[in-house]
Structures are given as C-alpha cells and as structure tokens.
Amino acid sequence: MQMSKQKVVITTTIRTELETFLSELNFDKLFVLTDNNTLYNCYPVIKDTPAISRGGIITILAGDDHKNVEQLCSVWRFLSDNGASRNSLLVNLGGGMITDLGGFAGATFKRGIKTVNIPTTLMASVDAAVGGKTGVNFNGLKNEIGSFYPPVCVFIDCCFLNTLDRDNLLSGYAEMVKHALISTEDHYQAIISLDMDSSFPALTSYLSPLISDSVAIKKRIVEEDPGELGIRKALNFGHTIGHAIESLSFKKNRPLLHGHAVAVGLICELYLSYKQCGFPSGKLSQTIHHIKGQYKPFFFDCKDYDTLYELMAHDKKNENGLINFTLLSNIGEVQINQTATKEQVLESLDFYRETFGI
C-alpha cells in the first residue's frame, strides 16, 4: 500500500491557514460534516472562510454510538442529493467519530473524494484525525467496517480544546500517554508530568508542544508502515483490551469515551508487558499510579470476563485464531505480534480490578 506523506498543519490561526489551503486546492463543491455539538461550538470558527461559507453543511448525531452505517448512509445521501462529484471535497469538523465516519464516507462515495480533517477534540488531534484510518462500528464491534484513506490535509488548532470538558480532555490524553510509552524516556517524563487540572489558557500552552510531539510520533510510524503490516502495530498498545472494554461499556449502557477505555487497556497491557516481556516494575508502578490519579475506575467483575475475552477474539488485528497484542519491554521498546493465553489475559483484568480496588 502506498501512502504519501500526510500534510498536517498545527496552527493558532486556522481560518487564515484554511483559507490559503482551500484557495489552492482544486475541487468543484465543498461540504462540511459536523455533529450537533461541533455545528454549534466549532463551525463558527471557520464559517467565514470563503470556500466554507459557500459549502453545504451535513450534521449528524454526536457520540460514538452514532458511528454507524445508518449515519454513514445519511452522509452519502446528502452528498448524492446535493450534486457531489468525484472532484468534491468533504471537510470533517469534529472529534474522532466525525473524522472516522467522514473519512470512510469520503473513501467510498464515488469510489473516493478528497477529505480534509479539522479535529476539534484532543483525541482526534493526536490520534483519530491523523493516519488515514477510517470506519464505522458494526455488529457491536469497534471500527469493524473501514478502510485506510488519508485526508489531503489535517488542520490542528488548540482553540477548539476550550470547548471540551475534563473527561474529553482525558480521553485524548490517554493516547498521548500511549505515544509516550512507545517513544522515548524524555517524552514519557514530559507527558506524565503534565498537570491536566490546569485551567485554560495555561493548559493549552502546556499541551500545544506535546500535541505536536504526539502527532509527529504517530505520523512517523504511519508513513513507515501505512498498511499496518509491522511497526504501525505499535500504535495498538493498550487497544486490544481497551476496545473490548469500550464495547462492554456500551453493552452495559455505561458508555466510556474511547480514551478512558484505552486507559484501562494500558494498565492491563502494561501488566502483560511486565509479566511476558520484562517491562520494568518501577516504570509499571509509576505509570499505573499516574493513570489511576487521572481516571475513574470502570467497574466490571469476573462474570464479564468471558464477554471481554470474546470481544478481544473478534479484534481485527488477530491472526491464526490467536489474540494479537503489542507489548513493551521498556519505554520505547515495542514488541509487536505478541500472544497471551486466556489465563494470562484474565489475570491482567484481575490486576486492573485489584489496582482500583473493585
């Protein structure tokens, strides 16, 4: 699979940058995909950009439970009914749900139209909007239907973070912790030293350079392995168990934001890393202490173990019937294509529950 280097613009003047970029891009019609939150909170920031002001607005329901085929069909229908062609442009303005669903809509409409991502959450800025993964949830499984389809550009501006509550900031922060764990000791120390209880605008000034570092880590890995055949699997750290926890949370009608589920997965998979790959016990304790100080526990018990294991067994990354993990032997020392027995996986769930006293 070939994927050109992705253009990512990190800016504090998004309207100016966007206006310049769109004036130089060839397209016949422009459409902006929003959800009911970003239409109200984020669209006003860019609406006066000339090309945007002339574009059609598509609005879908917010929330990962709406990242489904029905909402996808509504986007396709709007594009079709409003004369979108293969030379049209879809601007995805929102969090990971919008960039995932909008990216897949762009990948599939007329066999592919140009897309631009403008992430409005910390999660989308450091993870979902960058890298070209698109998709929707299906049959109770996360991102079961999707494709690799990179946007022509991603615009990241921290001004949108002012619209987020602490839970949504923490959701994105979990991905930053993951990037730190798979990168360098210096970046790891910078991330776990971040005070997520700081208020705006101080928090934005702390976050901006770290967001840039996180994006650079993901962008470098994606460009090296766009089809996820090797090192890109590093980005899955915390996600095999994290995605299962996220799916379970929806089954229990106690939906977790993606990053909060990843935080659970990070603890479990750090434990597996310690047991199977020799991840240092001191770093294990330090990281878990930090995560525990930021995130509320997700309550589940041993009656949920079989469901969680079954959800992991459906993970797209599995091969030959074995659950595939990315684990660490140290900070930045990634071990891809690791397996674990059911007993070891359930032991990691025990460890999480013991850590939080649940």
Of 105, 134, 163, which marks where a domain is finished?
163
pLDDT digits (tens, 9 = 90+) for 113-135: 999 999 999 999 998 888 889 99
Q: Residue 55: inside a domain, yes or no?
A: yes
CATH at 202: 1.20.1090.10
Tell whether 131 and 156 lie within a shared domain: yes
**Which pLDDT value is given to residue 3?**
43
Tell whether 130 and 237 lie within a shared domain: no
User: Residue 279 in contact with residue 348, Cβ under 8 Å?
Assistant: no
**Which pLDDT value is given to residue 226?**
84
Which of 156, 173, 350, 185 has its CA nearest to residue 280? 185
Tell whether 59 and 96 lie within a shared domain: yes
Q: CB under 8 Å to 215, separation ≥6 — which residues?
A: 8, 10, 125, 126, 130, 156
Tell whether 170 and 115 lie within a shared domain: no
**Which pLDDT value is given to residue 1?**
33
pLDDT digits (tens, 9 = 90+) for 304-336: 999 999 999 987 677 766 789 999 999 999 999
Q: How far is CA 1 from the centre of its chain?
A: 22
Tell whether 216 and 283 lie within a shared domain: yes
User: Residue 164 in contact with residue 136, Cβ under 8 Å?
Assistant: no
Tell whether 124 and 194 lie within a shared domain: no
Tell whether 129 and 176 lie within a shared domain: no
Tell whether 122 and 14 lie within a shared domain: yes
**Which pLDDT value is given to residue 198?**
75
Of 163, 196, 224, which marks where a domain is finished?
163
Strand arrangement, sheet containing 56-60: 8-11, 153-157, 114-119, 89-94, 30-35, 56-60
**Which pLDDT value is given to residue 132?**
87
**Which pLDDT value is given to residue 163?**
86
Number of domains in the chain: 2
The residue ranges of the chain whose pLDDT is under 50 are 1-3
The parent domain of residue 93 ranges over 8-163
Tell whether 171 and 157 lie within a shared domain: no
User: Residue 22 in contact with residue 30, Cβ under 8 Å?
Assistant: yes
pLDDT digits (tens, 9 = 90+) for 191-217: 998 888 877 677 777 888 899 999 999
Q: What is the DSSP string of 28-85?
A: S-EEEEEEHHHHHHTHHHHTTSHHHHTSEEEEE--SGGG-SHHHHHHHHHHHHHTT--
